A and B are shown apart, each in its own frame.
Chain A
Amino acid sequence: MGELLSIKNLKTYFYTEDGVIKAVDDVSLTIREGETLGVVGESGCGKSITAMSILKLIPNPPGKIVSGEIIFEGKDLTKATDSEIRKIRGNKISVIFQEPMTSLNPVFTIGDQIIEAIVLHQNMNREQAREKAIDMLKLVGIPRANEVVDAYPHELSGGMRQRAMIAMAMACNPKLLIADEPTTALDVTIQAQILDLMRELKNKTNTSIMLITHDLGVVAEMADHVVVMYAGKIVEEADVFEIFKNPLHPYTIGLLESKPILNQDKERLNSIPGQVPNPLNMPEGCYFHPRCSKAMDICRKEQPKLCSVKDGHKVACHLYKEVK
């Protein structure tokens, strides 16, 4: 499996009136062809911003990619011009957003919106594009695709809309699909269907998926490789079995412990004490130390570096020593 996208030392900062917010701080990750990368973390930890940085969808100002490289097919996207990046958006890299309810333009039919993407990026006229749009709707399991193609978003349920969004995202056979919490707004049964669908499509088309979520269940089901983020930094990175079997970083352990487990008689779920630090006023040393039960003196002074402790398992914590 070759590398499809690699992010190197990406820093995306937001320059607000109150100060600089380091939303993404020195993040490096790689997505291989046909792989699903799960990016996990609490709200506001920078996982969405990392994904949006790839397509330069950061609102600017106040946001700005300060430094770093995003290499996609041998080209650095951070240096791409507007028209170059527009050709990649929706074509080679497409996005599924969190809110299917509001991510479709209410005044156009589903078909119009899928057709627009196809006509824009592929050499097809409207009739061919319409055929393709209907095929895509069938592919994502929408019944009566011939009729739904002329339906307005408000006529469809949430699950149907999310399917339509996926159809739109997949219409140009993208190399990489960024799914930004694709199932958060859906109920559990629909969630399972959408995840099945995404996995099916991935296997059919060999598309890589960058799956952003805070739901560890979704990660366990979908991802091949997992990146755990905290306060704009990657704290742990490993493949999915390793993460669930042998989590190292206290934050990852905390996350896994706070997961609800069936057949367990418990009054309350475990939670990680404390709150995500204020991004304007990050603690010195390791960002996680105020909430960490294993915090040591060094944690308060020095920021740990991401180092590999095992083959393919990296962690940023002073508890572990790098293995050469």
Chain B
Amino acid sequence: MAEVKNNLNKGVELKGAKKEDIMSPWKIVRHRLRRNKLAMAGLYILLFMIVVSVFGPIVQKYVFGITMEKIDLYNISAPPSLKHPLGTDEVGRDILTRLMYGGRISLTVGIVAVSISVVIGSIIGGISGYYGGVVDGIIMRFVDIFMCFPFFPLLLMLAAVLSDYKVDPKYRIYFVMVIIGILSWTGLARIVRGQILSLREQEFMQAAEALGLRDRRKIFRHLLPNTFASIIVSATLGIGSAILSESALSYLGLGVTPPYPSWGQMVQVATDYYVMKYEYWKWIPPGVCIFLTVMAINLFGDGLRDALDPKLKR
């Protein structure tokens, strides 16, 4: 018997001597993602947008001496030129610089709003799914009620209240983030709850209970990480829709207000027929930015979903 055991150990050790790479789940996902060209294209566009938005304004300021508020009185509503690659707006501000700032704001809105909704959604979904029964019933009916709220009119109303209270334009954007975040956690909560409902019946949760863990630890350390795949996917896709909501709000003049730029607000000038017809440089670039970013996020999110799906074998 002992000899058999020794041989067995030797066998395992021999295999180990080859020093195979341990494939962590994330490595597998990265590997799969890299093979999805569309998703990678989305990722690169997104990274490009982020890099340009973060570092672009710094370069513009310190290299070319242009800030988003600087007015070039000699070039008001000027078409693209060497000095202003994307032209200037009706008060003579450089469109490219404002576009970069707008990118910062739009992306921040997307990320912060989604972070808020992910935190709320996973906590509520986790609790609801773990406890089940009455707790679950109450929370889910609450979610149902929340989902019945017409999202956009409510957003408009809240934004209108904000303008009435004369909130400083500088801080308004934060309110917009919070509002979008608070209004969009319900979908995620449902996804998380559904998964946890089935996960908590798994044997490893019984094992976790037999280890003497507290409920809180069981929910947030053991169950939620198992739902990360769907949280990540839904968060990624959520960033896109948060950016769209912000754009729409700003377009209607209720989100970010001048002098602070955002993409949606920049498109607003296209409501003027003259601008729409002759001054294309004012509204096409921000429109393209919104389109590209949201599309990139959606492509990447879809790719991520495919990569994270363990049932998908190629």
Where the two chains meet, the residues of A that have a C-beta atom closer than 8 Å to any C-beta of B are: 55, 57, 85-91, 94-95, 97-99, 102-108, 116-117, 120-121, 141, 143-144, 147, 150-152, 155, 165, 168, 193, 196
Contacts and interface: CB of A to CB of B under 8 A. Distances in A.
A320 B207 CA distance: 41
Interface in B219-244: 221-222, 225-226, 228
Interface residues of B, number: 27
A89 B206 CA distance: 11
Contact of B22 (A55, A85, A105, A151): A151
A107 B25 contact: yes
Interface centre among A94, A143, A152 (most CB of B within 10 A): A143
A89 B22 contact: no
A105 B220 CA distance: 13
A151 B25 CA distance: 11
B203 A103 contact: yes
B225 A90 contact: no
A122 to B, nearest CB: 12
B12 A105 contact: no
A107 B203 contact: no
A111 to B, nearest CB: 12
A103 B204 contact: yes
Interface centre among A105, A106, A165 (most CB of B within 10 A): A105
Given A99-B203, A102-B203, A120-B213, A143 B9 contact: yes
Contact of A144 (B16, B24, B211): B16
Contacts of B25: 107, 152
Given A120-B213, A143-B12, 9 more contacts: A87-B212, A94-B210, A94-B211, A95-B207, A104-B204, A108-B222, A144-B12, A151-B22, A168-B211
Contact of A91 (B23, B207, B208, B212): B212
Contact of A104 (B12, B207, B225): B207
Contacts of B1: 196
Contact of A89 (B13, B202, B203, B210): B210
B212 A150 contact: no
A271 to B, nearest CB: 29
A97 B207 contact: yes
Question: At the interface, is chain A mostly helix, strand, loop or mixed?
Answer: loop
B214 interface: yes
A105 B208 contact: yes
Interface centre among B9, B16, B22, B23 (most CB of A within 10 A): B22
B209 interface: yes
Contact of A150 (B22, B203, B206): B22
A143 B11 CA distance: 10
B314 interface: no
B308 to A, nearest CB: 12
A144 B13 contact: yes
A143 B207 contact: no
Among all A-B residue pairs, the 5 with the closest Cβ atoms = A89-B212, A90-B211, A95-B210, A102-B203, A86-B212
Given A57-B209, A147-B22, A106 B204 contact: yes
Contacts of A103: 203-204, 206-207
A188 to B, nearest CB: 13
Given A107-B225, A143-B13, A150-B22, A90 B202 contact: no
Contact of A121 (B9, B210, B212, B221): B212
Contacts of A91: 212
A90 B207 CA distance: 9
B311 interface: no
Interface centre among B16, B211, B214 (most CB of A within 10 A): B211
A152 B24 contact: yes
